[in-house]
Amino acid sequence: MSAALEIGRLVVVVALLCAAGALATPKGRLPLALRGVLKTLRRDGAAVSADAPTGADRVPLAKRLLSLVLVLFALLLVLV
């Protein structure tokens, strides 16, 4: 039973981190980790745009703060 709880906790932590990454990424762009995977998987060798977001592309403060809360909650789950 203990192993099942640990696996479940791991799944929840990964899900929280994925949600935080999705929230903190500007609309229309992939999170940083997925951009690296996409670049690796592309056959034509085309580069993935890694430009810094401009003022219009920035993520609202509320979403960034919610993302931070999700990361901190995931950290709490890992440490407990």
pLDDT digits (tens, 9 = 90+) for 65-79: 999 999 999 999 999
Q: What share of the chain is helix, strand, coil (3-state, %, to 5)?
A: 70, 0, 30
Q: Is the pTM of this model over 0.85?
A: no
Q: Max CA-CA distance within the chain? A: 49
- Other residues' Cβ atoms within 10 Å of the Cβ of residue 12: 13
Per the structure block, which two tokens stand in for 14? Answer: 């990964």
24-78 pLDDT, tens digit per residue, is: 888 888 877 778 888 888 876 565 555 555 566 788 999 999 999 999 999 999 9
Give the whole-angstrom CA distance, residue 41 versus residue 34: 10
